[in-house]
Amino acid sequence: MKIAVIGTGYVGLVTGTCLAENGNDVLCVDIDKNKVDQMKAGTVPIYEPHLDVLFERNIKAGRLNFTTNLKEGLDFGEVIFLALPTPEDEDGSADLKYVLGVAKEIGEYITTYKVIVDKSTVPVGTADLVKSTIEMSCKTDFDVVSNPEFLREGFAVDDFLKPERIVIGSSSERAIEVMQRLYQPFVRSGNPIIIMDEKSAELTKYASNSFLATKITFMNEIANYCQKVGADVDKVRIGMGTDSRIGKRFLFPGIGYGGSCFPKDVKALHKSGKDINYYFKILEAVVEVNEHQKTILFPEVSSYFDDNLEGKTIAIWGLAFKPETDDIREAPALYMIDKLLEAGANVKAFDPEAMENVKEKYGDTLQYGKDMYEVTEGADALLICTEWSIFRTPNYNLLKSNLQNPVIFDGRNLYPTVELAKQGIHYISIGRQKV
Ligand code: NAD
């Protein structure tokens, strides 16, 4: 099939590349000329494991191409994917200006039947809104499908190639047939393509992300409570997770969720409820608890240094909002950096993939290390904000000789408390018993 993907961020570029990998001809459109030039020159503009191999292979095969020209994309594709940003607006709602802006242009440009597929995360009713926006200036036949994306950054290629499910929201038999044909190669192992109406599909995405954010937040509250009563959240987590109704995943406490999805999606669902006088009390609590969770580690750092961080140097491991991505949007590490700088500390930062994005934001205000140990040289303490696997089994002797004080503040509970006590390292983590 001939596919156009509008927006080549984490979702769009993975979608385009993986569709090309399955033999489709894909033209990716982005307004960011720099990005398009980079991609045309064969460079993947984001870090996403395994994406580079597929990207290169499909460009070479001539199945994956790039342009800044939307009209060219619309002429090319039988199916038009919208993978555009839906950022948080000032009032917490999802800002639809990118999606509706492109919808307006679609209305002006298309001259043959197209299936317009909304992959962006959007509030209930957006498919109708996209349809009416296109109809304002369009006489050609078209269908709008809601096809929310469930890929996880860091596993995006795998998630796209072998999805647990595909959700298609449409009331058009013709569009459903096209979508089923397109996705069939991705579900050969038997995972379902779930067909539903547009509104239910739109809500499925918000409900899934809000549920996951709630699950993490619930565990963060349990961890905070453990800290107060002397229980150990690791033991509680393992005890809970063996119940198959609960499951072992997503029970790890930490310094809050971040990223480009959970924070904005929880708020957007809450706001869409509020707009029709339905109050998602649980989501209000999730937002509030998560904001608080980002703040819980800083006072520990501060009080260790008698509330005087002026001139102290803090090494940070992990800047991305989670491992295996370079995405720093709403990353808890950024909160910690801001607080440390505000208190007069120097920050030496390291992340395996997110350094460039952090440099763009902070410039020379921070020092950056070539590797994880270099930032600890001469630092007064080590702070861990992201659970990259390379941080999991560090050389403790090297760390102790590098750091001025053998102290680690761990926002991701990476190390066994007993081991760290044996190593003579003062170790502060989240919701665990002190040894
Ligand atoms: P992103 O910010 O990484 O990428 C969006 C891209 O769209 C950018 O390259 C931008 O230049 C481009 N763009 C903006 N306006 C454009 C226009 N008018 N024409 C062409 N291109 C334009 O965003 P993302 O993380 O890929 O997310 C896209 C959507 O998918 C959002 O709604 C998001 O909530 C949703 N989503 C994201 C993830 C994720 O893990 N990132 C997962 C599932 C769903």
Q: For residue 32, give the ligand 1 atom closest to its CA.
A: 11
User: Are 316 and 349 a contacting pair, CB within 8 Å?
Assistant: yes
- 138 among known catalytic residues: no
User: Are 131 and 144 a contacting pair, CB within 8 Å?
Assistant: yes
34 sits in which H/E element? helix 33-40
Ramachandran assignment for 272, one of left (phi > 0), alpha (psi -120 to 50 degrees), beta (any other): alpha
For residue 312, CA distances in Å to 300, 302, 402 come to 15, 10, 15
Ligand 1 centre to CA of 99 (Å) is 10
Ligand 1 pocket test: pick from 149, 208, 267 the residue with the most ligand atoms within 8 Å of its Cβ. Answer: 149
Ligand 1 centre to CA of 329 (Å) is 12
Percent composition of the chain: helix, strand, coil (DSSP 3-state, to 5) = 45, 15, 40
Ligand 1 centre to CA of 6 (Å) is 9
Q: For residue 45, give the ligand 1 atom closest to its CA.
A: 9
Nearest Cα to 45, choosing from 62, 24, 63, 28?
A: 28
Q: Sheet with 25-29: list strands edge to edge.
A: 64-67, 25-29, 2-6, 79-82, 114-118, 142-146, 166-169, 193-196
Q: For residue 12, give the ligand 1 atom closest to its CA.
A: 26
pTM for this one?
0.96
Beta strands in 85-221 (DSSP E): 114-118, 142-146, 166-169, 193-196
Nearest CA to ligand 1 atom 41: 10
Beta bridge pairs of residue 144? 116
In a 3-state reduction of DSSP, which class is residue 80?
A: strand
* CA-angle at 264, arms to 261 and 267, nearest 5°: 135
**Which residues have C-beta within 8 Å of that of residue 395, sequence separation ≥ 6?**
373
CA atoms of 93 and 240, how far apart (whole Å): 34
Identity of the amino acid at 418: V
pLDDT reported for residue 418 = 96
Nearest CA to ligand 1 atom 38: 11
Ligand 1 centre to CA of 122 (Å) is 12
pLDDT reported for residue 434 = 84
**Which residues have C-beta within 8 Å of that of residue 34, sequence separation ≥ 6?**
none
CA atoms of 188 and 429, how far apart (whole Å): 43
User: Are 148 and 199 a contacting pair, CB within 8 Å?
Assistant: no
Q: Which domains does the chain have, with CATH numbers?
A: 2-195 (3.40.50.720), 205-294 (1.10.1040.10), 297-428 (3.40.50.720)
CA atoms of 13 and 45, how far apart (whole Å): 9
In a 3-state reduction of DSSP, which class is residue 243?
A: coil
ipTM: 0.99
Ligand 1 centre to CA of 11 (Å) is 6
Which residues contact ligand 1 via a Cβ below 6 A? 6-12, 29-32, 35, 83-86, 98, 101-102, 120-121, 149, 151, 153, 260-261
pLDDT reported for residue 25 = 98
Nearest Cα to 147, choosing from 133, 132, 126?
A: 126
Ligand 1 pocket test: pick from 5, 6, 8, 11 the residue with the most ligand atoms within 8 Å of its Cβ. Answer: 11
CA atoms of 236 and 220, how far apart (whole Å): 12
Ramachandran assignment for 366, one of left (phi > 0), alpha (psi -120 to 50 degrees), beta (any other): beta
Nearest Cα to 285, choosing from 270, 296, 268?
A: 270
Ligand 1 centre to CA of 296 (Å) is 31
Task: Give me the half-sphere count of Cα atoms (radius 13 Å) on the Cβ side of residue 10.
Answer: 25
pLDDT reported for residue 235 = 97
Given the residues 28, 138, 226, 261, select the one marked as catalytic. Answer: 261
**Whole-angstrom Cα Rg for the chain:** 23
- Which residue blocks in 150-261 are alpha helix, DSSP H? 156-161, 173-183, 198-229, 233-241
Q: For residue 86, give the ligand 1 atom closest to its CA.
A: 32
Nearest Cα to 259, choosing from 350, 324, 215?
A: 324
Q: For residue 152, give the ligand 1 atom closest to its CA.
A: 40
Ligand 1 centre to CA of 9 (Å) is 5
Nearest CA to ligand 1 atom 37: 11
User: Are 83 and 5 a contacting pair, CB within 8 Å?
Assistant: yes
Q: For residue 29, give the ligand 1 atom closest to its CA.
A: 20
User: What does the pLDDT profile of the chain (435 residues) look like in tens digits?
Assistant: 999 999 999 999 999 999 999 999 999 999 999 999 999 999 999 999 999 999 999 999 999 999 999 999 999 999 999 999 999 999 999 999 999 999 999 999 999 999 999 999 999 999 999 999 999 999 899 999 999 999 999 999 999 999 999 999 999 999 999 999 999 999 999 999 999 999 999 999 999 999 999 999 999 999 999 999 999 999 999 999 999 999 999 999 999 999 999 999 999 999 999 999 999 999 999 999 999 999 999 999 999 999 999 999 999 999 999 999 999 999 999 999 999 999 999 999 999 999 999 999 999 999 999 999 999 999 999 999 999 999 999 999 999 999 999 999 999 999 999 999 999 999 999 999 888
Ligand 1 centre to CA of 399 (Å) is 39
Nearest CA to ligand 1 atom 34: 121
For residue 423, give both structure tokens. 């190593």
